[in-house]
Amino acid sequence: MRRVLVLGSTGSIGTQALEVIRANPRRFEVVGLAAGSDRVGMEAQAASFAVEHTALGADEAEQLVRDVEADVVLNGITGSVGLGPTLAALECGRTLALANKESLIVGGELVTAIAAPGQIVPVDSEHSAIAQALRSGSDSEVRRIVLTASGGPFRGRSRAELEGVTPAEALAHPTWDMGRVVTTNSATLVNKGLEVIEAHLLFDMDYDDIDVVVHPQSIVHSMVEFVDGSTIAQASPPDMRLPISLGLDWPNRVGGVGRPLDWTTATSWTFEPLDDAAFPAVRLAKRVGRAGGTFPAVFNAANEQAVDAFHEGRLSFPGIVELVERVVESHEPESPLTRESLAAAETWARDAADRAIAAAS
């Protein structure tokens, strides 16, 4: 029986995790719940699962991680506020099922320095796919990682054609149903850029050995290429319950969490190169990742401000990544890297982004 603490319990990842747990009562037990602000929803979940330990907000969630005995902490909190709970889970020796990519990306070496081998289990579908594929060979046999991207709703459009994109169009993702920021990030491919940084940190791969390919069907969730020319791909219908279940009980598979592919029906899978001219976010993210330190925090914070401005009609769609690049290029990093320096860098980045947005309006 795995004792699970679910952070971000009322969000998409959290609610799907609870579905998996409910369907497997002899395998998992919920010992604590934390939500961002939805107290009513969390209390209903707590009553349903007979959970006594709850928290509201990131600070309370961090304390809950330290106070509650758990085997697995599923961090499904949204945004860099999830860093505290991530660090707490690692410091307390829990297995961290990580859906909160921002905490790893922003925290960088603060997170990786205290994580034991295998202590972080990725829940993002792409990184879960990589983790599964990596079991096919040793580290020395891996040539490169290939992250797949759906291409979002604007796949195939030129830079000029993206100028008039509306917020409603940006939120019409062809595959996944996500929140406003993540869905917009998928449209700009900022989300894929963040995933490149995450892959580097999770799997200790050089940025030159991490590629992105556009795969509109979102069936192949990512691939690993080995030195002998073999490529191992993980394929399944889009359903986050599969990587969530692996996060809860890695490396064991949980029966019945997802439906298999239908091999009796004719199907075509396509793969296309990424258009860096129209979607420069991945290239920028690699620069940010190589720079390290507080640069990823600045990248993430500036992007959040830019996304808000876009949805408020104060910034064009291509202007999102353009603004992020300007803020990143003007950043002067502090050292050493601490939680305080990260918080200061995020505050600076948000202020710098807001000033640039106001000047352009």
| pLDDT at res. 181 | 85
At residue 101, does pLDDT exceed 80? Answer: yes
pLDDT at 175 exceeding the cut of 70: no
Q: Are 209 and 224 in contact (CB under 8 A)?
A: no
What are the structure tokens assigned to 20, written together? 């998996």
Q: State the pLDDT confidence band at 177, using cuts at 50, 70 and 90.
A: low
Mean pLDDT, the chain, integer = 95
Write the CB contacts of 19 (distance below 8 Å, at least 6 apart in sequence).
Answer: 241
pLDDT at res. 172:
84
One-letter amino acid for residue 73 of the chain: V
**293-361 — its CATH code?**
1.10.1740.10
Q: What is the per-residue pLDDT for 104?
A: 97
pLDDT at 279: 95
- Segment 26-35 shows an average pLDDT of 98
Instruction: List C-alpha distances in Å: 337 to 62, 90, 253.
Output: 20, 18, 37
pLDDT band for position 45 (50/70/90)?
A: very high
pLDDT tens digit sequence for 212-251: 999 999 999 999 999 999 999 999 999 999 999 999 999 9
pLDDT at 164 over 70: yes
The structural domains of the chain, with segments of one domain joined by +, span: 2-123, 124-239+262-277, 293-361
Q: Is 318 within 8 Å of 163 (Cβ atoms)?
A: yes
Does residue 147 have a pLDDT over 80? yes
Q: Is domain 2-123 annotated with CATH 3.90.700.10?
A: no
* Range 105-113 average pLDDT: 96
Is the predicted pLDDT of residue 127 greater than 90, yes or no? yes
Mean of pLDDT values over 46-61: 97
3-state secondary structure the chain: CEEEEEECCCCHHHHHHHHHHHHCCCCEEEEEEEECCCHHHHHHHHHHHCCCCEEECHHHHHHHHHHCCCCEEEECCCCHHHHHHHHHHHHCCCEEEECCHHHHHHHCHHHHCCCCCCCEEECCHHHHHHHHHHCCCCHHHEEEEEEEECCHHHCCCCCHHHCCCCHHHHCCCCCCCCCHHHHHHHHHCHHHHHHHHHHHHHHCCCHHHEEEEECCCCCEEEEEEECCCCEEEEECCCCCHHHHHHHHHCCCCCCCCCCCCCCCCCCCCCCEECCCCCCCHHHHHHHHHHHCCCHHHHHHHHHHHHHHHHHCCCCCHHHHHHHHHHHHHCCCCCCCCCHHHHHHHHHHHHHHHHHHHHHHC
